[in-house]
Structure 1
Amino acid sequence: MYNVSASLRADWVTLIERVAQSLQRTGVMLTAVDPGDDAAALHAFWRREDMLLSQACGYPLVQGLAPHVRLIGTPRFRVPGCQWHTYRSAIVVRAGEGPDTLAACRGARAACNAPDSHSGMNALRHAVAPLARAGRFFGEVIHTGSHLASLAAVSAGEADVAAIDCVTLAYAAEHHPELVAGVRQIGATPAVAGLPFIASRRADAPLVHRVRAAMRQALHDDAALRVRLRLEDVVPSAVADYQPVSGMALEAGLRGYGALN
């Protein structure tokens, strides 16, 4: 979920490989698989019965994925906007000439990474709901496919506002500083549990515990990897920890703002 550069992708693969090595010593084989880039392929991958380690967004989790998976844990990142195991979205506009408040974005063009994203869609919808009139607020919503593309759209003037996962924003500041230099933060959304690490429902509790323990040990043993990923720990969590994500969707709906538009 956070492969925002080739070097970061390599670090995430390293973490997976360390987990695989740990599990192999107990007779469990873990093989890395690329689920594909499109949303349908990713959702299908999350539902595979042999899936032992992946990361999902909290919004799909509470919108139907939960019965198919077990939670391995929730990441604890060391980045601005994260506290313990929670994260926020930063609401950003174009640097210099963008609006100063979310209310001033009425009629503007919003960039959204994906319609099933909490950080890019659900959190922004919740923030906008009190300001909407007759179920509308923005003049146009552009689906970009990724937070990096949303940052690029806002920076280039192709969109006016976007909600960006604060972890992605921190990674982008380091690996794509030109994108972050082109935007300015005007707000933040409420904190919710971070993107969960998941396994198939077929994985029993002891195996899930071993996967989490292997991830924590790998991070503990490699301080440099931990710093590059900005990932301090993987803490135990439950689906109930993600109910605030559902609550934000419900609140927007009750205000008559069921869709980001």
Structure 2
Amino acid sequence: MPEHHSAAAMVPPIGVVAPGAPLSPVSSDRHGALLSGFREVVRIGSATLVRADSMEVLEALEPGSIGAVLCDPPYSSGGLHAGERARAPSQKYQGSEHRHLYAEFAGDCRDQRSFLAWSAMWMARARHAVVPGGICAAFTDWRQLPISTDAIQVAGWTWRGIVPWDKTECVRPIVGRYRNQAEFLVWGTNGHRPLAGKVAPGAYRQAVPKTKLHMTAKPVELMERLLSIVDGPVLDPFMGSAPIGVACANLGLPYIGVEFSAHYFDVACRRLEAHHAQRAA
């Protein structure tokens, strides 16, 4: 059964790591203790889900306590002008026939300057939580790709490249133009990463899920393939409907998911609870 924790107090002070001490990810139980001060924390198997602002959670994590970051942050995209980008996500990313199928999500109305500042802020805080050599990988689209590659470097990560995700020809066509059928994973490492372990593809072709719990949900299978070269715990600061959490459960990786929206937090909890029960059966 999932464990639910609630508390009105803020997160307790985080322990200080001695200079020169080796850093390695802490146990899932230790993460649960560190995060228990937030208002709503749910433990499902090896996953810890937190309903909070991701910035607050990132500040609470111990240095070197995370193995990798994989996430799908709000892009603040979907228009050529600031007024268009400030529209509700459903108006930017969906046709009128699908506009009321999914709840809106927060944080998607920044202009490019504020998007750069915000991205650099959360990426910098994430870097302090990740082990040396650990990976940070964040999705973006073609409009925000230049900003995202700037942000990961401003935050102090060693930028390693771009991984295209080809969504196939299933995406909406626009007459007289090339299809915008690719999104991109911008990734880097926390300093030097040893040349060891598995080799992962540098591009992926995977259709968007036909059945989704979030308007911008990505395939679980894609997340599993991207996680093939990382160690846990995996931090997902923008959990949404938790496809990364399901992928981590399938791979046996500890997972920490953070979601600001109460609606999508409940969606993620129900999804992982059902997935955990199915695997246990």
Whose RCO is larger (CA < 8 A, sep 6+)?
A: 1
Which of the five TM-score ranges fits, normalised by the shorter chain? under 0.3
TM-score (structure 1 length as normaliser) = 0.24
TM-score (structure 2 length as normaliser) = 0.23
